[in-house]
Amino acid sequence: MNLKHRKFNYKTNQSNILLLLIIFLFSSITGRLFWLQIIRGSFYRKLSDENRIRLVSNPPIRGKIISANGRLLADNKLRFNLILQPHLVDKIKLPILLSRLSNLLKVDLEDLEYSYKQGILNNQFSINLLYDLSNIQVLKFKELASTFVGAQIQTESVRYYPNKNWASHVLGYTQSINLDEYRRLYKQGYKMNDVIGRIGLEAAFEKHLRGKWGGEMLEVNASGKIQRSLGFESPKAGNDLQVTLDFDLQNIAEDVLADKVAGAIVALDPNTGAIKAMASKPGFDPNFFTRSLRTEKEYKEIFLSNNSPLFSRALNAYDPGSTWKIVTGMAGMETGKFPPNIILKTASCIKYGGHCFPEHNRKGWGAIGYEDAFRVSSNTFFYQVGVGVGIDELYKVAIQLGFNKHTGVEIGAEESKGFVGNKEWASRGRGWGRPGSTPWIPEDIASASIGQAVVQVTPLQLARAYAVFANGGYLITPHFVDGDIDWMSSRYRTKVDIKASTLETIREGLRRVVDSGTGRNLTWNLPTLPPAAGKTGTAEDSTGGQDHAWFACFAPFESSEIVIVAFAQNTPGGGSVHALPMAQKILQKWHEKYTSN
């Protein structure tokens, strides 16, 4: 009995173990199924869909940029690329396919093979074999397209600038987005193969211009062949952008810079701040950045040239020379130390510190007042005023006239705020010395009085400052796009704290410059031009180069409608010789267009 009992217990134990094992296995399977279908079900369904579904993105058409008079400045054009869908191509037949394409389109077989291999490595659904096919290549392919299974012509829209270098620094350019930008911007709808505005208006109005991507959802089978479309959303085109640039004035601005080594032109409305022309030399062709192929020579000319063609001279700061004397004159009158009726004795030179600062004619002009001092551009007159009021007052007026800060223009990312030196800057080491080792000295204020050495301004800043004297005392906001903004409102046009007598004295001095002074050639033999006011300037280049030439003017003298600043970089000979003729041609074209009738 005991033996039978033991055998029964043994069999029972075996059955229990087997039952427990079966229960454990079924529990494991059930748990795994629960984990896969319930807990992780959504993940695996998504993974399955991603293997079954292909999303083909369609880029938007970028908005056009149009001049004030309706001329196209930035547009889009079609580019034809040859693409290959590898899942539709028999790998055995691939070498024959690529060889046939090479012979038909007259391209290097190795280039096609390389493009294909790169596409496979990057797991691309569609591989770009060739970019920017010619019309002849497109026609040749289409004639035999049915025999090239898996290959097709893809049409894409690329940015196009019909006027090439024209206003290139204003318009800017577009370029493919990089990885860092994609990581930062993908939540805003950017794709890895997207383009983005780099500089200029293209960058400043990126959101306005770019549009919204569309696309199609395709169902594919296990071999990758398309079965059906699951949905399509059309891309949304970007908005067009109309700018204040006058096409004809801009053309003249580009032309007058043609024979200069480098320089800039700015023309704007002194009342609203609307920029009518802005040109900079050297320039660049923005189409360079959308080309599929670029030569080494082109690359070097853009990125490695000592001329720095990507650098806008209109927004960079330079020594302003005598065009700065409006600041010194305003400081003298506003402090009351040198009132409008002051008469000062000029000289061949005046000594400050260890240097005798010369009059430009090396003789002096006798005893003169402000109006004659502007007319003949007397240095020794303005030395006395500047040194007499001191750098603190000079700096204060400079700030009032918009210097040493950004102008508010939309493309301010590329804009220098200029520089006006003062005692605090000197005590900090002037940017190169130890704090306390480079104090402000008498020579500094003498130089600052005539716009040299410790003063640097941009052509746009100078145009904005001269607009104050053209419009009756208001500091405007320069801009390229009017939009729905009231540019005459106090937010964008602020009243400068300036006495009426100061304003009138400087205006009259600038008028005399053009009537009988250093700027008299502006209207010489051009009697139909309206009465104008302005100031010439010749500035030593504080970086060691040759002299700069400047001319700033506004017209008509009463109820002014245009301010023009012409700048010729490192062009010795004087503002009246080199810069004034540039401004004159702009003024002639403006008068011809807007006032001749």
* Beta partners for residue 58, in sequence order: 214
Which helix (DSSP H) or strand (DSSP E) does residue 500 occupy? Answer: helix 500-516
pLDDT at 459 over 80: yes
CA 375 to chain centre: 37
pLDDT band for position 4 (50/70/90)?
Answer: low
Residue 44 confidence (pLDDT)? 47
Tell me what the mean pLDDT of segment 57-70 comes to.
92
| Higher pLDDT pick, 393 / 304 | 393
Contacts of 317 (CB under 8 A, 6+ apart): 416, 417, 418, 419, 456, 457, 458, 461
* pLDDT for the residue 222: 62
The phi and psi torsions of 540 (rounded to 5 degrees) equal -65, 140
Using CB atoms within 10 Å of the CB of residue 476, give its burial: 0 to 12 exposed, 13 to 18 middle, 19+ buried: buried
Answer yes or no: CATH 3.40.710.10 is held by domain 247-290+312-594: yes
Residue 128 has a pLDDT of 86
Q: Tell me: the pLDDT tens digits for 124-177?
A: 778 889 988 999 999 999 999 889 988 988 888 899 999 999 999 999 999 989
- What value does the mean pLDDT take over residues 71-82? 93
Strands 65-66 and 241-242 come out as: parallel
Cβ contacts of 392 within 8 Å, gap of 6 or more: 422, 423
In this prediction, residues 77-92 reach a mean pLDDT of: 88
pLDDT digits (tens, 9 = 90+) for 417-432: 999 999 999 999 998 8
Whether the predicted pLDDT of 50 surpasses 60 = no
Q: Would the pLDDT of 483 be above 80? A: yes
* pLDDT tens digits, 94-125: 999 999 999 999 999 998 999 899 888 877 77
Owner of token pair 């700027």: 519
- pTM of the predicted model as reported, rounded to 2 decimal places: 0.85
Single out the residue of 88, 543, 15, 490 nearest to residue 317, CA to CA: 543
Mean pLDDT for 253-265 is: 97
55-242 CATH: 3.90.1310.10
Burial 50-59 (b: 16+ CB within 10 A, else e): eeeebeeeeb
